[in-house]
Each structure stands twice: as structure tokens, then as C-alpha cells.
Amino acid sequence: MRLSKVLPLALVNFASAAIYESFADLPQQTFDFVIIGGGAGGNVVANRLTENPAFNVLLLEAGPSPEGRLNYTVPFFSIYLRQPGPLDWNYTVTSAGLNNRVITFPRGRLLGGCTCINGLGYARGSVDDYNRYATVTGDLGWGWDELQLYIRKNERWTPPTDHHNQTGQFIPKFHGFHGVNAVSLQGFPSPANFDDRIAATIQELGDEFPLNEDLNSGSPLGVSWQQSNIKHGFRSDSFSSYLGPEFINRPNLHVLMNTQATRVIQTSTNPVEFLSVEFASGPGDLRQRVTAAKEVIISAGALETPKLLMNSGIGDAEYLTSMGITPRVNSPQVGTNLSAHIAVSLVYNANTTQTFDQIVQNATFRDELVTMWNQTGGAGPLGNSYPSHNVLLRLPDDSPIFHHNTDPAAGPRSTHLQGTTQNGAISLTASGYFMSMPATLLTPTSRGSVRLTSNDPFAPPLIDVASLTTEFDIFGLREAVKMTHRFLSATAWQGYILGAAASTNLSIGATDAEIETYLRANAAPNGHVVGTASMSPKGAQYGVVDPDLKVKGVKRLRVVDASVVVSISLTLNESIYRCAHQPYLPTGSTMTTTYLVAERASDMIKATWQ
């Protein structure tokens, strides 16, 4: 099921001479900066660089604009953005640990990237996550305190659409109120009995599930209200915020849509530079080129960035030769170290008719809500995302898994396990009324890869997420499921939850063996993927980019997206890298982390050239 209505509400008109549909319309072919990819990373950099009127910037985006597209604007309709379609890269992934299933992996192929299709959750992770980035990269600027400036440059805390009293649901001192991208609490309440049941669970089981007034304080442990990138009932993505009407008409900002970069081309050997970008609209179309006078910035995302680097001759030299690509820069870890949060759906039959399932199942009711949303400027349940609360916990320090596995969390404030409470099911085919609480492992130790299927830049990559291929990951996700079962064992849920839905087929109280079987058949990476062009200390012979995000061995080429986020730590020496590295995923939303990376990167780029 996929809605296809065109949004009738009069939105801001983004049409401008700054946005181009055709290469022939570009005013020139040389720019100070060429940015590849208009997602969470690229749109931030494009915005911040063009604050300097002396900088001329071209942003290349493979897809079209989301403007006027209902599903990409209504927050609740993110449930319709999980299937293949024309505005998606239509990737599939696999893993031996997931029974070698071929799993659909949505990624936004449109201006705004995954910020236009995700579940809108705004979660930074912990103080410990960022302080570890600073430690292992040797750059204190990646630490929590140092990034506060960029948190506030990014975030504009916005009152919820229904203007309810926010006391006790967030802590203002931890937030920015004058940034670019909106963050808010739910703007339409769940039925009182649902939120009351969560409050009662916290009261009854508070030793394990304490209330945390703000998951974005840097100490996210406990049960917190959901915070989302929503502005007055509308999705707040990197397109509508960083390329919003107050920015898009800058005369030095140029955006070329429906244009996929195929290679960055070496323009100098001493020093090594890649300042020319080749691109085309499609596989059979004429390849065109533009040139950067100062830098090329790759912001194509954790899956397309390594593919683009390899197609450009930057990667493992032996592997590139085997694929028929001339090696230019030997960088063996391009496309390795892929790390992704792993999640599993848990859906239960609910003894109520007051769930959001009626929106999904009743087209007439849904159309009435669309009319309300249009006429009121975002009011009603469609202006919400579907989770109500986050449950974030650590594994106990005396867990048996730590007898022979190092704790992969960054520190005592970093979470291992996540559950999200949902007053309904996001399935488009189920009939009935449900309560969902999907479980996620936020600190996986499995490491996957992105490889090429051919030397055709338009061929999809081969993505092995490697999920559930380590002992820790099997244990950790199993414990996340058991955590949700304990949460739902509270008195408040008795008589409300009527057992597992047919899609789940896993009872509360299932054995470890039953849970593991269910996980291998049903778990999937949740879209938070990082690490395929990872940061490492300046001068290190491992990793792909330095802490300033410049590609190692190359001048004037940077990567600014989620692919840089995993920092590699070697405990002995580089020769045993593959068995000694640790995964450093943020224990929050990778979109949120990418915004902060891009904000800081923008200042580093400015400092180089101003």
C-alpha cells in the first residue's frame, strides 16, 4: 500500500534559479565547492558554505525534490516509505546470521535523502559515545562538550503542535532553540489509557525502567518521551530546513537534481587531487563533468560513498584491479567496517479500538485526517510519528556475555538495548488492533561490507550487513527482546495485551532458543548504518579519512556523511586489524549524529579557505 496523493496544501515554493533539472541550465561548470549528495550531510554543508557570499557551491543530488509529495511531508505517513519505489535506491542486504534472507533496505533517493523517509526520531546518543570518538581519533573536537555548539546550530526546539504542557517531558537546558532543524514532542496525544499504562509501568518497575525526562541529555538510560524532527505537524528534514526558503535563493547556491555522480576524477598526481566530478542522469545518458576550484565533498551516504570511491579508483588496489578499475589511491578499508543497528518487530494483539491501526486500515478515516491536517496546518494524529516513548537500557555489568566478550558500549551512560512503544502496528496488511514494541541492539559487534557487483557506477552495490554473526549480537538482541517482555509484564498491560500477533508468533516468556530462531528469521538492520569510510587518527595507516574528514593520501577531497562515523581502534598493531577493531556506532539516531558531523565539518572547511 502506498499513498500517491499530491499535497494540496499551499507549501512554500522552492522553485528558484538555484535549483536546476538539467546540466545545460547550470550557469558555469566550475565552482569553488562541489558537494555530492543532498542528504543530512550534503545539505548542511551546502547551507553553511554559502553563508560566505564569496563561496560558489554546487550540490549534486541523484533524485528529485520531495516538494508537494504527501507521504514525504506528513510525519505519520513515513509508514508508507518502507517499500521499493522511484524515490528509493531500492537496495537489498543480506547476512548469514539472518538466514541469508534478501532484505529490502530503504534509502532515500531524493533531495533530503534519508531525512525525508526515516521515522523522524531525534536521538543523539550518549556523552560517552562522542568522547570515545574524540579519544580514538585524537581530535578533541569530536567530544560531547565541544559538539554542543553544533547541537545548537542544528536544533530548533519547537513547541508541539497541540501546545500541550511539556513539563517533565524534556529538559530545556539540553536543547537548542535557534538552530535550523526542528525538534518537538508528539503534537497529538496517544489515548490516555496508553500513556497511562506506560506511566504505571514506570511506577511499578522503576528499578529497571526509571523515568528519564530527556533522552538527549547525554545520559539516555530509562524511559523517555519520543523526540522527533517535526515542525508544527510537518516533517522537518534536511531539504525543508537547510535548503528552506530563507536559504535556497542565495545566488551562490546551486542545486542540480536527478544527477548521479559516477566518479570523482583525479586531476593531479603531485599532490594527489580529485577535483573533477563525473555524473549522468541515468545509465545510458551522456556523462558530464564539473570541476571544483577548492574542494570536492562526498556526502552520498554510508552505502553510495564507498561505491563512488571504489569506482573512482580509491580503495583496496588488489580488489579494484579484480573489478576492472584502475587503482588510484590504495585505501584498503573503503567499504569495510559496515556497522548497523539490528532490530526485530514485536507486535501484540490489543484489547482496544483506540490505536493508530484505524488510520492504516480505514481509507475513509485516513482521508478525513488528511483534510484536517491540510486545513489546520498540520494538526491531528497525522502530525505525529508513530513511537510514543523510548526504553533505553544497559546490559548488567555481570552479564555472562562479558565473561569472554569486551563490552562494546562506550561507557556507563551508553545504552545497549532499545525498545519503542507504539500504539498500533506499522504493518500495511494486518487487520485488527495492536500494540508494538520493536527491540533493537544499539551496540552490535558484527561488521559487514559494501562491495561492487561490477564496474558500472549505476549497478547496485553488494551489501553484507553481517548482522547476528557474533556471539555478542545474538545475546544482545535476544536480551532486547526479553527486556520488552519484562516491560510488558507489568500489571498495567494485563488484559490489554492479548498475546502475540500472527506476524510475531513469539510469546512473552519464550525460551532463549525460541527467541534466537525468531530473530534469525525476522530481524533486520533498521537503517542506521555507518562506518564504510571510517575516521582514524591523522597519519594512521588504517581508516579512510582523517579527523578533519579529508580522504587519506588525497588533497582537497572530503567525506561528510555517516560513512565516517565509526572510528577504528587497534589494540595491538595494524597487522591484526581485522580481529582487534571495535564498533563505534552512536547509540542514538545516525541521522542526528550526521547533522553534527556536517555542522562541524562545515566550520573546518571554512577555516581552510577563509
Distance CA 77, CA 374 (A): 14
pLDDT tens-digit readout, 2-30: 343 333 333 333 334 589 999 999 999 99
In a domain, 1, yes or no: no
Q: How many CB atoms lie within 10 A of CB 503?
A: 16
Tell which residue, 17, 561, 18, has the closest CA to residue 309.
561
* Cβ within 8 Å of residue 186, ≥6 positions away: 160, 225, 226, 228, 384, 385, 388
Q: Is the dihedral of CA 109, 111, 340, 603 positive or negative?
A: positive
Distance CA 566, CA 339 (A): 8
In a domain, 10, yes or no: no
Distance CA 102, CA 580 (A): 29
Contact 206, 165 (CB under 8 A): no
Distance CA 133, CA 586 (A): 10
In a domain, 9, yes or no: no
In a domain, 478, yes or no: yes
pLDDT at 587: 96
In a domain, 106, yes or no: yes
In a domain, 342, yes or no: yes
Antiparallel, parallel or unpaired: β 387-393 and 524-530 = unpaired
CATH of the domain at 28: 3.30.560.10
Q: Is the dihedral of CA 254, 252, 37, 126 positive or negative?
A: negative
Query: pTM of this prediction?
Result: 0.95
In a domain, 232, yes or no: yes
In a domain, 419, yes or no: yes
Domain residues for 517? 19-609
pLDDT at 567: 57
Mean pLDDT over the full length of the chain: 93
Contact 371, 479 (CB under 8 A): no
Weakly modelled stretches of the chain, pLDDT under 50: 1-16, 569-581
Distance CA 189, CA 172 (A): 21
Distance CA 473, CA 487 (A): 21
The CA-to-CA distance between both ends of the chain, in Å, stands at 50
pLDDT at 572: 40
Q: What is the 3-state secondary structure (H, E, C) of 252-309?
A: CEEEECCCEEEEEECCEECCEECCEEEEECCCCCCCEEEEEEEEEEECCHHHHHHHHH
Residue 49 has phi, psi (to 5 degrees) of -65, -35
Distance CA 435, CA 500 (A): 10
**For the chain, what is the domain count?**
1
Distance CA 61, CA 363 (A): 34
Q: How many CB atoms lie within 10 A of CB 181?
A: 27
Distance CA 258, CA 20 (A): 9
